[in-house]
Structure 1
């Protein structure tokens, strides 16, 4: 029975952690407090049977413009996975606004200014969010970006993204599991895997 004590302690720690509740999230833009979306109840790994060849989407010209670039089948959205940094999308319309129902009127840019959000992103370690990012970050430096077909998954450099007709575009940080799903009708802060 000498070896059973560490297992008992480990079991007690697991039970204690299972009882922890989700924290309340306060959004920076509005100050509104909300509960985070419920965690997935399935322990299944994200789907890998519909992966595209990530190499086909990669472009490298310099350290600033290296990434996996793609557009939606409609051509309305352009997106990028910046290796081990962030993934996100921006409207192809060039209006300077994200064009998603429910997006905040302003966000804080890297200089501390309040500006209109023009993109939706998730970073390697952070939470998904609406942001203001220069359009050139979503523009493939050479040639036109490939279209990511519906119900296919681009998994590269710590992120995965997909596009589905019913739900829209979805991206995930594989390190944290944080992600987003959005279309022009709204956004949620969870990744939606391809069925």
Structure 2
């Protein structure tokens, strides 16, 4: 009986010590120590729907296929969502992308190295810099309709928005991957419009 009481008291002491601080008890048959791994942060938490634009306002038929085209309020950027395939943006005023963080060269339409002219996001893959053949993400004949600040164009598995502070951002809802860019910066993450953002 004394043995049972001592064992119970020893167990309680160990449990109490475990609550008091980072005590480590090693025994010969202990499991190997756990490794600390930090999971990659998701591109976004659940994307919000507080500021949705009417997708029909941005739809255009190009070569028998409906796409969703928009320009930034400044007119500098042309973007498109190709349903269930990709989303992307390009510089409307220059043949170069002009974004800090872009590589000097990417494979061009003919496979030869060339300067990137667009950022693209495929349905299942992450964002990448590219040089698509003309018209790329531009609407021809255009121009495409302007997507106002803090409005979200969500259609066919993608969502894009434009914010004054962060720039243009697009997300593949299938992969959870996205991008955010402005002339001054680029990040391979989606930046959602805050629910309380002004319209």
Q: Same fold (TM over 0.5)?
A: yes
Query: Does the aligned pair in 2 maintain the 1:180–1:191 contact within 8 Å?
Result: yes
Q: CA deviation at 1:111?
A: 3.6
Q: Distance in 1 between matches of 2:125 and 2:82?
A: 14
Aligned twin of 1:117? 116
Q: Distance in 2 between matches of 1:51 and 1:155?
A: 7
Q: Distance in 2 between matches of 1:21 and 1:49?
A: 31
- Residues 15-53 of structure 1 show CA distances to partners (whole Å, capped at 9, x for unaligned) of xxxx8766xxxxxxxxxxxxxx6325x7x5211010011
Which segments of 5 or more consecutive residues in structure 2 lack a partner in the other structure?
1-35, 195-199
Does structure 1 residue 39 correspond to structure 2 residue 42? yes
- Residues 85-105 of structure 1 show CA distances to partners (whole Å, capped at 9, x for unaligned) of 110000011x32110012100
Q: Distance in 2 between matches of 1:169 and 1:143?
A: 20
Q: CA deviation at 1:79?
A: 0.3
Structure 1 consecutive aligned stretches of length 4 or more whose deviation exceeds 2 Å: 19-22, 37-40, 109-112, 141-144
Q: Distance in 1 between matches of 2:139 and 2:110?
A: 25
Counting matched residue pairs gives: 159
Q: Distance in 1 between matches of 2:101 and 2:178?
A: 17
Q: CA deviation at 1:143?
A: 4.2
* CA radius of gyration, larger in: 2
Q: Distance in 2 between matches of 1:178 and 1:38?
A: 11
Q: CA deviation at 1:136?
A: 0.9
Which segments of 5 or more consecutive residues in structure 1 lack a partner in the other structure?
1-18, 23-36
Q: Distance in 1 between matches of 2:83 and 2:166?
A: 25
Aligned twin of 1:72? 72
